[in-house]
């Protein structure tokens, strides 16, 4: 524990240092994952409806009430997440960046994930003030790297039980609760995916009801994240280590699995 604290403090003092070993890389990813998660939680707490503010409502608002003080961020309505920053842009494997985004933001339903290829987005914002067309072309052609689509139902169950079945073209399969399954889908390709969640799991149509939607490919592919929402790690130390190692193998994150 003391050595880990020293490594974290060294990274805090010298944030631009490059990991020299696989262990250093894993520690950096763990720190980045927690930093992203905490920053997102704080953002959700700030993005809330104002209390005591009079709002003009139409008849359609009668069917969609938003509580004052409740977070305005609904991950079930988020279609795309774009990650930017050194750790995400320079991850040795794109699957590592995708796993970081999945862990930190816990996307729900069908969500397309992408990263800024070389941490270019802040600079393109400045360029856009001078030449908007040039900034737009660089953004779409060189900046964006599509990782794939994350399909994640919300719900909880006992590990090992079936969470869902799926059909994607000629590929069919099932995923157990507590597992991650990656199905390759090439960059630039799209596919219709039909998912049949078990009772207690919801993909937007209601608990246990099937969903058919479009999924986009990428350098990683289509990832079925059946670890549950909200994401809960096992409390037992041994079980937690085994779960983390299993997820790393299932997404082929590191050379040692």
Q: Which of 84-88, 109-113, 218-222, 228-232 has the least mean pLDDT?
A: 84-88
Q: How far is CA 17 from CA 29, 37, 123, 233, in A?
A: 13, 22, 21, 30
**Phi, psi angle pair for 65, to nearest 5°:** -90, 135
Query: Cα–Cα distance between 19 and 22 in angstroms, integer?
Result: 7
Whole-number pLDDT of residue 85:
85
Q: Which of 45-49, 72-76, 125-129, 137-141 has the least mean pLDDT?
A: 45-49
**Phi, psi angle pair for 244, to nearest 5°:** -65, -40
Max Cα distance, the chain (Å): 61
Residues shown for the chain: 257
Q: What is the pLDDT of residues 120-130, one digit of tens each?
A: 888 898 999 99
Percent above pLDDT 70 for the chain = 91
Whole-number pLDDT of residue 51:
57
Q: Which pTM does this prediction carry?
A: 0.86
Mean pLDDT value across residues 26-31? 92
- Average model confidence (pLDDT) across the chain: 88
Residue 65's pLDDT band (boundaries 50, 70, 90)? very low
Whole-number pLDDT of residue 56:
57
Whole-number pLDDT of residue 64:
44
């Amino acid at each position: 524990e003391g050595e880990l604290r020293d490594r974290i403090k060294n990274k805090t003092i010298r944030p631009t240092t490059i990991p020299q070993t696989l262990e250093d890389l894993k520690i950096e990813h763990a720190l980045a994952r927690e930093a992203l998660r905490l920053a997102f939680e704080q953002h959700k707490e700030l993005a809330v409806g104002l209390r005591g503010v009079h709002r003009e409502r139409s008849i359609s608002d009668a069917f969609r009430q938003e509580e004052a003080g409740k977070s305005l961020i609904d991950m079930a309505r988020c279609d795309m997440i774009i990650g930017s920053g050194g750790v995400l842009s320079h991850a040795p494997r794109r699957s590592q960046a995708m796993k970081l985004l999945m862990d930190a933001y816990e996307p729900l339903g069908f969500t397309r994930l992408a990263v800024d290829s070389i941490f270019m987005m802040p600079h393109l914002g400045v360029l856009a003030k001078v030449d908007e067309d040039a900034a737009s072309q660089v953004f779409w052609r060189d900046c964006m790297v599509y990782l794939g689509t994350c399909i994640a139902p919300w719900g909880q169950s006992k590990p090992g039980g079936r969470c869902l079945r799926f059909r994607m073209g000629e590929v069919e399969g099932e995923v157990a609760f507590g597992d991650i399954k990656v199905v390759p889908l090439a960059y630039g390709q799209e596919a219709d995916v039909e998912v049949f969640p078990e009772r207690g799991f919801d993909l937007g149509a209601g608990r246990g009801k099937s969903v058919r939607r479009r999924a986009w490919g990428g350098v990683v592919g289509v990832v079925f994240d059946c670890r549950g929402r909200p994401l809960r790690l096992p409390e037992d130390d041994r079980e937690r280590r085994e779960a983390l190692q299993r997820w790393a193998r299932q997404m082929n994150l590191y050379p040692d699995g």
